[in-house]
């Protein structure tokens, strides 16, 4: 791929996106263990919760570990981590849309997924 020179402003935008999509999943993941920001298991589709061999709270802790790892991956290797976060956010939004509740959160997560995908495209230029 041809190397392009970008305005330093683009580099600062890239860094803000990288930090945002790295730190936010880590914070949300950690909060799955404390429920300070919200009661996370309320977002879990009851049909999914009913199929689990453990409680919804335990499931959300597993989700939290995945989110923490995804956030770290964005910070370390954004070209790979950002698409992972984008897909993750899209899956979360899909489950909320299918449930028909928390549609505002679903839309927000889809918008965030677009931002994460944008970060992944920028990461090609800022290795």
The answer to whether residue 66 is domain-embedded is yes
Provide the domain limits for residue 18: 8-123
How do residues 74-84 score in pLDDT, each as one tens digit?
999 999 999 99
Taking all residues of the chain, what is their mean pLDDT, rounded to a whole number? 93
In the chain, the N- to C-terminal Cα span, in Å, equals 13
Count of the separate structural domains present in the chain: 1
The answer to whether residue 115 is domain-embedded is yes
The answer to whether residue 2 is domain-embedded is no
- As a whole number, mean pLDDT of residues 80-108 equals 95
Reference 86, options 57, 59, 118, 54; nearest CA is 118
The answer to whether residue 1 is domain-embedded is no
The answer to whether residue 77 is domain-embedded is yes
User: What residue has token string 């061999």?
Assistant: 53
* pLDDT at residue 7 greater than cutoff 90: no
What DSSP string runs through the chain? -------HHHHHHHHHHHHHHHHHHHHHHHHTTT-SS--GGGGS-HHHHHH-SS-HHHHHHHHHHHHHHHHHHHHH-HHHHHHHHHHHHHHHHHHHHHHT--HHHHHHHHHHHHHHHHHHHHHTT--
Task: Enter the pTM of the model.
Answer: 0.88
In a 10 Å sphere around its CB, with 0-12 CB exposed, 13-18 middle and 19+ buried, how is residue 116 labelled? Answer: buried
**Rounded alpha-carbon distances, angstroms, from residue 28 to 1, 20, 44:** 35, 12, 15
């Amino acid at each position: 791929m041809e190397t392009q020179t970008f305005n330093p402003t683009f580099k600062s935008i890239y860094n803000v996106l990288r930090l945002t999509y790295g730190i936010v999943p880590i914070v949300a993941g950690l909060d799955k263990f404390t429920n300070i920001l919200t009661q996370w298991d309320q977002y879990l589709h009851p049909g999914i919760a009913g199929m689990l061999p453990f409680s919804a709270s335990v499931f959300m802790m597993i989700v939290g570990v995945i989110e923490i790892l995804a956030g770290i991956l964005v910070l370390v290797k954004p070209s790979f981590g950002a698409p992972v976060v984008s897909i993750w956010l899209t899956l979360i939004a899909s489950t909320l849309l299918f449930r028909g509740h928390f549609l505002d959160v679903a839309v927000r997560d889809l918008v965030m997924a677009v931002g994460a995908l944008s970060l992944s495209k920028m990461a090609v230029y800022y290795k």
